[in-house]
A and B are shown apart, each in its own frame.
Chain A
Amino acid sequence: EAGVAQSPRYKIIEKRQSVAFWCNPISGHATLYWYQQILGQGPKLLIQFQNNGVVDDSQLPKDRFSAERLKGVDSTLKIQPAKLEDSAVYLCASSLVVGGSTYEQYFGPGTRLTVT
């Protein structure tokens, strides 16, 4: 079974530029998550989708971050414009059911973003 795929693996941009990350979840997983992991911290949930609908985006900085999951499969996370404090690893995860309450989440390798 293929795992969660993410691209790119690394990205370096200057502040005020824009960037986009792509995620392809495990086939059949209805729920998709985007996390931000700042160095030295645990992952923090940014947004959660079930199929192509948003379940939770309470911690997404909506003035600069946006995400979509068209057709309920792949997802894209965008930052525009980027700030220095956005430097982090962006992790995508998927699970079988809404909220993953008792089902584990499967994580992709992440995209390491450096904003200079």
Chain B
Amino acid sequence: AQSVAQPEDQVNVAEGNPLTVKCTYSVSGNPYLFWYVQYPNRGLQFLLKYITGDNLVKGSYGFEAEFNKSQTSFHLKKPSALVSDSALYFCAVRGFGKLIFGAGTRLAVHP
């Protein structure tokens, strides 16, 4: 079955420090992977996607994600966190022709 797991409900990081939000997936065939961000009272915004090619994918707002096929992971990263990065982050995988979302990870960046 196609699924996505985000093992951390919340990630806390100090401003200026690197951040990582974890995601693992289970899918048959080649994975199409996505990261979205959700700010309060707003819809989801697309950050980046992995379809094929380089394992390191660069996206919006300085975010990047590393695809690791052997570990079936697609972790979201940023070298230096900003307070404005505080939001809810969702990993998603395309399965059965639809996007299957994880439960989300709340990122809190402290000044």
Interface residues of A, Cβ cutoff 8 Å to B: 4, 6, 40-45, 48, 55-56, 91, 93, 99-102, 104-110
A-B contact count (CB 8 A): 56
Contact string, B38-59, partner A, CB cutoff 8 A, digits 1/0?
A: 0001111110010100000000
Q: Which of the residues B42, B94, B102 comes within 8 Å of A101, measured between beta carbons?
A: B94
Within the complex, the shortest CB–CB distance from A93 to chain B, in Å, comes to 8
Interface residues of B in 15-74 (CB under 8 A from A): 32, 34, 36, 41-46, 49, 51
Residues of A contacting B43 with CB < 8 Å?
4, 6, 91, 93, 107-110
Residues of B contacting A41 with CB < 8 Å?
103-104
Interface residues of B, Cβ cutoff 8 Å to A: 4, 32, 34, 36, 41-46, 49, 51, 90, 92, 94, 97-99, 101-104
Closest B residue to A48 by beta carbon equals B98
Closest A residue to B48 by beta carbon equals A104
Contact A43 B32 (CB under 8 A): no
Residues of B contacting A55 with CB < 8 Å?
97
Within the complex, the shortest CB–CB distance from B67 to chain A, in Å, comes to 15
Within the complex, the shortest CB–CB distance from A79 to chain B, in Å, comes to 19
Could you write out 27 A-B pairs with CB less than 8 Å apart? A6-B43, A41-B103, A42-B4, A42-B101, A42-B103, A44-B101, A45-B98, A48-B98, A56-B97, A91-B43, A93-B43, A93-B44, A99-B94, A99-B97, A100-B99, A101-B32, A102-B51, A104-B34, A104-B46, A104-B49, A105-B44, A105-B46, A105-B99, A106-B46, A107-B36, A107-B43, A107-B44
